[in-house]
Amino acid sequence: MKLKDQVAIVTGASSGIGAGTSLELARAGATVVVNYPFEAAKNAAEAVVSQIKSEGGNAVSYQCDVSKEAEVVKMFGDTVSQFGTVDILVNNAGLQKDSAFTEMSLDTWNFVLSVNLNGQFLCAREAVKEFLRRGVQPEKSVAAGKIICMSSVHEVIPWSGHANYAASKGGIMMMMKTIAQEFAPKKIRINSIAPGAIQTPINKSAWGTPEGMKNLMRLIPYKRIGEPSDIGKAVVWLASDDSDYVNGTTLFIDGGMTLYPGFEDNG
Ligand code: BGC
């Protein structure tokens, strides 16, 4: 129960990595705000909350589109009113809208940037303000607050046909490092996780057929696709005092995808 009495907001928590991370945080004792973006995702978010409660944990669902400033400000305000503070932000909400570069509309570009990058900016800003207001509460954690930004291997691996997505993840890397530098003296820790291929709805086209899965394995030296819990367990570590000296770094959890697997066979 390393996160006992701590309050975590997990954005984009109605599916995939966000859902898996919410379960792991709750198992570590955190109260989890399971954020979902729109009405159609409400049932899925409620299912995550139910699972947490069935295991004896504490969670609520909360609708908020992280690309909308007023909604983000309200989500943090409501969480502080209900639970007293926010200790952990998992900046997870993200999406893909893939397009050939020459056909990519400005709307498609902006849509991905607005959720993946603007959304992380807005949530991180509100979280940092709350951490600064509250300060360190040593009975809970030696840090004043922790942010874990969900990046991707595509913060370093270029990705044809996904310029908007790769640009958003590269942007997350520098936002994360910059605010980690700025707020470390205030005992706020900010890090990223860069998942590789994790089996979730976002990349079903890559793993959904035996042939796709076989192709995917060419990119993964460890020869298995990742599970949301692979990420969730690392989020718990980055949110806990066990990682207290870890600041402004990206933890790659990718089965070796960033190890240039094309060179496995002597290049
Ligand atoms: C993307 C997935 C992809 C993975 C590895 C992730 O960031 O969202 O679609 O499978 O990177 O390429």
pLDDT of residue 258: 98
- Among 152, 160, 200, 204, which residue has the most ligand 1 atoms within 8 Å of its CB, making it the best to mutate? 152
Q: Identify the band that residue 155 occupies on the pLDDT scale cut at 50, 70 and 90.
A: very high
Enter the tokens of residue 257: 């995808």
Contact call for residues 253 and 230 (beta carbons, < 8 A): yes
Look at residue 152 in the predicted model and tell me its pLDDT.
98
Q: Please state which CATH number belongs to domain 7-253.
A: 3.40.50.720
Binding site membership of 258 for ligand 1 (Cβ less than 6 Å):
no
Bridge partner residues of 6 (DSSP): none
User: Ligand 1 atom closest to Cα of 257?
Assistant: 5
Q: Which tens digits make up the pLDDT trace of 30-63? A: 999 999 999 999 999 999 999 999 999 999 999 9
Residue 149 CA to residue 125 CA, distance in Å, equals 12
Cα–Cα distance, 31 to 44 (Å, whole number): 18
User: pLDDT grade, residue 266 (50/70/90)?
Assistant: confident
pLDDT-derived band at 267, boundaries 50, 70, 90? confident
> Can you give the pLDDT at residue 120?
99
Confidence of residue 240 (pLDDT cuts 50, 70, 90): very high
Judge if the beta carbon of residue 31 lies within 6 A of ligand 1.
Answer: no
Per-residue pLDDT at 251: 99
Q: Percent of the chain at pLDDT above 90?
A: 99
Query: Average per-residue pLDDT in the chain?
Result: 98
Measured from the Cα of 196, ligand 1's closest atom is 5
H-helix or E-strand spanning residue 3: none
> 88: CA distance to ligand 1 center in Å?
24
pTM greater than the 0.75 cutoff? yes
Q: Which of 154, 159, 193, 207 to mutate to test the pocket of ligand 1 (most atoms within 8 A of CB)?
A: 154
Q: Give yes or no for residue 265 having a pLDDT over 90.
A: no
The stretch 166-194 carries a mean pLDDT of 99
pLDDT digits (tens, 9 = 90+) for 81-126: 999 999 999 999 999 999 999 999 999 999 999 999 999 999 999 9
Closest-lying ligand 1 atom to the alpha carbon of residue 157 = 12
| pLDDT tens digit sequence for 76-90 | 999 999 999 999 999
Residue 123, classified by CB atoms within 10 Å of its CB into exposed (0-12), middle (13-18) or buried (19+), is buried
Distance CA 153, CA 165 (A): 11
